[in-house]
Amino acid sequence: MKEVSGGITAAKGFLAAGVHVGVKSSNKTKKDVAIICSKVPAQVGAVFTTNKFAAAPVLWCREVTQNHKAKAIVVNSGNANACTGIEGYKDAEQMAVWTGQALNIPAEQVMVSSTGVIGQRLPMDVIHEGIIKASANLSENGSNAAAEAIMTTDTYKKEIALQYECCGKTITIGGIAKGSGMIHPNMATMLCYITTDANIKDNALQKAVKEAADHSFNMITVDGDTSTNDTMIVLANGEAGNPVITEGKCYEKFTNALTYLAAALAKMMAHDGEGATKLIEVHVGSAPSEKDAVLAAKAVVSSSLVKSAFFGEDANWGRIICAVGYSGAELDPAKVDMWLENEAGKIQLMAKGAGLAFDEKQASAILKERSINVLIELNMGVAEATAWGCDLSYDYVKINADYRT
């Protein structure tokens, strides 16, 4: 695999656009409506929030996904269209209808997403204007604008693309995402859109999307909140011309590439957590099962006490090991080892379940860095998992205390 430029439009046959129309009236300049489309019908795979108050666009997209075909995605930021009842669902459907009319495709081939404040109706006249404007600006160079248009409290846009070879053909996968707060996906407010020119069977695509989500977006947390709008959509239009991917080595290569790209976007979200000053990566190794490794890793990155300690640059490793202990993972406390590591060095804090004397100055140097790795070995097997998160700062509270204003 190699990373390439182009983001969501790097793959053959995809166009994108992002425009400003003023969905959130208080913002006079921010792009807030995006469209992504394939020149030909594409297979669609997707996973969505498990929050029972799933937003209206999620309900619409679940229906579209059942048909396994889609050609476009329309997204607005600034308003989540969540908890808006039957009228909110009709608004999501209308977004699909207007996009379909603009692109001359059936509304049933349009995926819809919204992100922003919960509980308010969409300003549909403004949304309509945005759809018309975005459809007129679709471009093979539109990834940057689309990535900007889906942002809410994000401080930077998140996009990536990569290529790999399969059966003599070059396959490209590109994606954009948004997410900074209300991040604790359990998919089974983050949005991710991925396009690929791979030729892949519908059930194989859905399986790969679920696997990629489980090893990326389902392994990050910012604040422990699972949004009403969490969505990951993948469109595969087959323009690479490779033999159809169903299973075997071709499926494994595709899934590995998709997972790599999804994990890269997930880490960008954790890095850009609201008010965050640290990116925390927790790797749990030698676990008896992957489930145990996942439980332990996610417990550490989700702990408010651990996150607070990292913000304070305090080597309070007891908080880390406490989270491992209550995670539900199978472990023997007398076997656990733990380290902190980054460019500033590596320091062991625990061996065989007991704390070690360590150099506080070296620990302080490690904790002052922007990225910090926590390495935990359970020494009970061969399974492993990695989770990503961020610290909990004063600014997180400030941002969310006045989110609506």
Neighbour tally for 85: CB within 10 Å: 9
- First-to-last CA distance in the chain? 44
Percent helix, strand, coil in the chain, to 5, is: 35, 30, 35
Side-chain half-sphere exposure of 284, counting CA atoms within 13 A: 33
Specify whether the CB–CB gap between 296 and 287 falls below 8 A. yes
Relative to beta strand 191-196, strand 169-178 is: antiparallel
Output the CA–CA distances (angstroms, integers) from residue 103 to 12, 37, 73, 136, in the order listed.
18, 9, 11, 9
Please list, residue by residue across 40-50, b when 16 or more beta carbons sit within 10 angstroms of its beta carbon and e when fewer do.
eebbbbbbbbe
Output the CA–CA distances (angstroms, integers) from residue 190 to 162, 314, 324, in the order listed.
21, 30, 26
Choose among 260, 210, 194: nearest CA to 38: 194
Which amino acid, one-letter code, is at 100?
G
189 is catalytic: yes
DSSP state of 173: E
Give just the sign of the alpha carbon dihedral 326, 331, 337, 343.
Answer: negative
Specify whether the CB–CB gap between 35 and 134 falls below 8 A. yes
Specify whether the CB–CB gap between 274 and 227 falls below 8 A. no
Relative to beta strand 279-287, strand 371-377 is: parallel
**Which parts of 277-399 are beta strand (E)?**
279-287, 337-342, 345-351, 354-355, 371-377, 383-390
Q: Which of 189, 221, 228, 231 is an active site residue?
A: 189
Active centre residues (catalytic): 189
